[in-house]
Amino acid sequence: MNIIVCVKQVIDPEAPPASFKIDAATNKAEMKGAAPVIDPYGEYAVEAALKLKEARGGKITILTLGVNLLREVVKKPLAMGADELILLEDEIFTSGDNGSIANALALAIKKKGEYDLILCGREASDTNAGQTGPAIAELLGIPCIILARKIEPIDDKIKVERVNSLGYDVIESPLPAVVTVSNEVGQPRYPTIKGIMAAKKIEPIIWKAGDIGYETGISNKTKLQKLFQPVHEAKCEFAAGETPEEMAVNLALKLREAKIV
């Protein structure tokens, strides 16, 4: 089975909220003092691909779009066990909106050809949109399943367990298909020393806009007007008391008085 996994490099979402800063002039965000990481949601997609490869064999190609891509970051999926890395590293790509980025990924997937399954994270930790997977499916005209917790190949089809708020749906789909992977798929494995050594030897393939026939701006439909940090005024009323027990009693009185509990 040939699997393409779309993963991106993001600012570290686990860094403390206090280090999060927005540059108002460029509408860009950063985590001061924290190195970028592979998107944690994307790592679940890599894990799902590795599970499939273990069960059925095949080849895993990682597709990463961005600029200033740190090799030790974007090579992590290789160290986890993926076979090949394609970098769409061109500022033209990142100047577009979500739709333009999905378009670039779809063009790269077409150029790569030979794919049975395309995996993405359920969303990315920066945009929290969850649109890239479904958008690629529409652009390629193939089925799409979101929020997978289990993917099982059966003959030339796949059976997917799709998480929902009550439990899960069992979905069958022909291939090729796009599947977005949810965290219930299981913790992504840590790269082994052997994996890290192997990843060092793999040279990423780099494609620029011209290599995939990408035209600037044609897919742009949205505009980011503003990026801002919501202000949380600290208006917490602390329960008074000499001991934790006293404070607890005062909290109970206060909540009851305000008819909160």
Partner 1 sequence: MSEYKGVAVYCEAKNDKILPIAAEGLGIGRKLAESLGQELAAVIIGDKALAQQAIAAGADKAYVIEDAQLKEYQPDAYISALEKAIKQIQPQIVILGQTDSGRELVTRLAYRLNTAATLDCVDLAIDTGTKRLLQTKPVYGGNAQAVIITETDPQIVTIRTKAFAALTPDASRKGEVVSIPAGLDSSIIKAKIVNRVVEEVAGIKLEDARVVVAGGRGIGSADGFKQLDEMAKLLKGAVGASRPACDNNWISDTAQVGLTGKIIAPEVYIAVAISGSSQHMSGCSGAKTIVAVNKDKEANIFRHARYGVVGDWKKVLPAFVQKLKEL
Q: Which of residues 102-131 bind partner 1 (CB under 8 A)?
A: 125-131
Nearer to partner 1, 114 or 246 (CB): 246
Partners of 151 in the β-ladder:
160
Instruction: Indicate which single residue of 25, 154, 193, 261 sits in contact with partner 1 (rule: CB under 8 A).
Output: 261
Stretch in the footprint of partner 1 (CB under 8 A) among 107-115, 196-204, 207-215, 231-239: 231-239
> Using the rule CB under 8 A, is 223 a contact of partner 1?
yes
> Using the rule CB under 8 A, is 244 a contact of partner 1?
yes
CA dihedral 233, 239, 242, 244 (to 10 degrees): -100
Within positions 68 to 107, which residues make up the interface with partner 1, using CB under 8 A? 97-99
Q: What gap in Å lies between CA 157 and CA 154, rounded to an integer?
A: 5
Burial class (CB in 10 A: 0-12, 13-18, 19+), 129: exposed
User: Which residues are CB-contacts of 70 (< 8 A; sequence separation ≥ 6)?
Assistant: 9, 35, 36
Nearer to partner 1, 72 or 246 (CB): 246
> Using the rule CB under 8 A, is 34 a contact of partner 1?
no
Partners of 253 in the β-ladder:
none
- Please answer whether residues 70 and 35 qualify as being in contact, where contact means their C-beta atoms are separated by less than 8 angstroms: yes
Within positions 122 to 181, which residues make up the interface with partner 1, using CB under 8 A? 125-131, 134-135, 137-139, 142-146, 160, 162, 164-174, 177
The CA–CA distances, whole Å, from 7 to 38, 94, 122, 258 equal: 7, 14, 11, 48
CB of 42 to partner 1, least distance (A): 13
Stretch in the footprint of partner 1 (CB under 8 A) among 49-57, 67-75, 208-216, 247-255: 247-255
